[in-house]
Amino acid sequence: MIRFFLKSVFIFFLFSNAFAIIVGNPSDPGLFLDGIFTSKAKNSSIRASYLYNNIYKAKYLNNLNLKAKSDVKMKIIASVLTFNVYNRLDLYTILGKANYEFLDVNDALSFSDAAFAWGAGLKLLLFKGKNIDFSFDGQYFSTKQRFDFFVVEKLIYNLMGPFKHHLEEIQGSFAISYKTPFLIPYIGATFIYTLNTDYFPYSQIIPKPVVRILERGDDLAIFETGDLKPRDNFGAVLGISLINKQKNATLNIETRVEDQFAFAFVGTLRF
């Protein structure tokens, strides 16, 4: 027996632009002079990093009602493997896990279990000076998230049937840094865009149509999806790297604002 019926409990996300991941210090390609097992005389080197990226608020607008606002959270925990060439170019891969938390205008919550996430990118030093470095960073990021339950009016409802969100996006950024012996602060700008080609389709919710039933005992509710768009496509990044004396390890702290609000920590060792 259906005790109550909620149509459009909330409009879930189907967005073309989404979450940015860490930009990193623009000095990174030429920063690490010695490795644990290699010297600066090498033309190439390998670095390994541990990344914690917390996007605690990504702001979106409902396309059908531009006054309706929604917030999305996302956490990424990953390992980053970087191959450096001539202290000018970094080629890297990102392997880890990510999960969403979505808060709708009606205070309906949804959570996804931590799922596999991966990415790849490059960082190129465009200008290398005595104290100033300027670089470009470009990266691709993808994850498939599965949702099993929702919180409506502070009550937990299970989802009847599969519901997944597939995210694919690219991020480009330019940043400038100022080098000191042990600290390197930096500032930059970012732009996120979801690829729209035959090989990289829009972010999508699977399956479609996306009208689903929630259940809690004998109580049932319905939700349906709609389009959301970011309130801002461009963002700003601020960060600082702490360097050890041997210059083979760093701890990087970064925050991003405007298009989203996020912070990240990255610990790196050069081998």
Q: Model confidence over 6-34: pLDDT tens digits?
A: 433 444 444 444 567 889 999 999 888 77
Across 233-261, average pLDDT: 90
Of the listed ranges 84-88, 129-133, 148-152, 173-177, the one predicted with least confidence:
148-152
Verdict on whether the full-model pTM lies above 0.85? no
Average pLDDT, the chain: 78
Query: Using a CB cutoff of 8 Å and minimum separation of 24, what contacts does 182-185 make?
Result: 182/242, 182/243, 182/245, 183/240, 183/241, 183/242, 183/243, 184/25, 184/27, 184/31, 184/240, 184/241, 184/243, 185/238, 185/239, 185/240
Instruction: Dump pLDDT digits (tens) for 157-194.
Output: 787 766 777 777 889 999 999 999 889 999 999 988 76
CA atoms within 13 A on the CB side of 188: 27
Rg value, the chain, Cα:
21
Structure-model confidence comparison of residues 19 and 226, the more confident one: 19
For the ranges 136-150, 173-187, 212-226, the lowest mean pLDDT is seen at 212-226
* pLDDT for res 135: 97
Calpha distance 199→92 (Å, rounded): 21
Nearest to 119 by CA among 86, 93, 97: 93
Tokens standing for residue 258: 């405007």
* Contact indicator for 121, 138 with CB cutoff of 8 Å: yes
Q: Where are the domains of the chain?
A: 11-32+47-270
Nearest-CA neighbor of 189 among 16, 15, 20? 20
Average pLDDT over residues 230-253: 87
User: Which residue would you say has higher pLDDT here, 227 or 213?
Assistant: 213
Q: Could you tell me the pLDDT band of residue 226, with boundaries at 50, 70 and 90?
A: low
- The pLDDT of residue 1 is 33
Mean pLDDT, residues 49-58 taken together: 90
Pick the CATH number of 11-32+47-270 from 1.10.3470, 2.40.128, 2.60.40, 1.20.1740: 2.40.128
Of the candidates 134, 131, 133, 135, the one whose C-alpha atom is nearest the C-alpha of residue 181 is 131
Cβ partners under 8 Å of residue 154, min gap 6: none
